[in-house]
Amino acid sequence: MPRLTLRGTKDFICRSRLTASTFVELVVTIFLLTAFAALAFPVFWGASKANTSHSITAAAQRARLSLSTILPRLCEEVRPPYWANPDKVFQSSGTEWKVYYRNGKDSDSLILRKESESRLSLVTSETNISIDNLNGLAIDWWKQEKRIIGFRIQWLQDNQTMEFHAAWGSFIL
């Protein structure tokens, strides 16, 4: 009997150890899974949220950034000589604004095309870039004292009218 008692006690202790060990494992696992969820959830939530409710604003901001970095560089290349004829340099229709200039000794043109109500295309002989998400897009010449000095782009963002101006590298006298 004492042997049995002894054996039973040891067995109990062993089983208790096993249970404690399993309990610790369980706690660690739950903790790690919680930590995983805590890390993963915001990422997935953030990603999905960015793709849904915030996607419009983010896309509009990206469009603005693209416009503000690309268009001034293209416009800077537009260098009509100061003796040029404005009617020949600047031409526009309802959907296309075209400006001719000399690129070195060659002729080139920069075209701003309104592809749709929210899509703008910037076209030269070397580039063809489209910028989307410019809702309510409107293109016009930027004028000063009746002279055309660049492009004026307008669009809607968060119910506000945004406006961006880009001037040529040189102007006509």
Partner 1 sequence: MAARQSNHGVPRCVGLIHLIGLRENAFATLTAVCLLLLAAAFLAGSVLSSQQLLLERNRAEKAIEVRSATWKAGQALLTALQETWNADEQTLDVWWVQHSAVFPAGSSLISLSARVNLNTMSPFLLKDSELNATLLGRSVEDFTTYRINEGPFSKIEDYKDFFKPANLNAMYCVHSHFNVNTADEIMLEKVLAAHTGSESLAASIHARLREFRTNRQVLAQSDWDALIGADKDTIGELVTVNPELDVNTVPPDVLYAILRDPDFKLEHPDAKVQSILASRGSKPLTSDILRQILGVGKNSLLLQYLGTRTYFVQGKIPEAGSVMTFVATVTYSSDSPPKIALRILDTEWTSS
Please give the residue ranges that form the binding site for partner 1 (CB under 8 A).
3, 7, 10-11, 14-15, 17-18, 21-22, 25-26, 28-29, 32-33, 35-36, 39-40, 43, 46-47, 65, 68-69, 72, 76, 79, 81-85, 87-88, 105, 145, 167, 169-171, 173
* Dist CA 67 CA 75 (whole Å): 11
Q: CB-wise, 126 or 173, nearer to partner 1?
A: 173
Q: CB-wise, 36 or 115, nearer to partner 1?
A: 36
Q: CB-wise, 88 or 160, nearer to partner 1?
A: 88
Full DSSP string of 60-110: HHHHHHHHHHHHHHHHHH----TT--HHHHEEE-SSEEEEEEEETTEEEEE
The CB-of-24 to partner 1 minimum distance in angstroms stands at 9
Of the candidates 14, 45, 60, 6, the one whose C-alpha atom is nearest the C-alpha of residue 22 is 14
* Dist CA 34 CA 37 (whole Å): 5
The CB-of-116 to partner 1 minimum distance in angstroms stands at 25
The CB-of-23 to partner 1 minimum distance in angstroms stands at 10
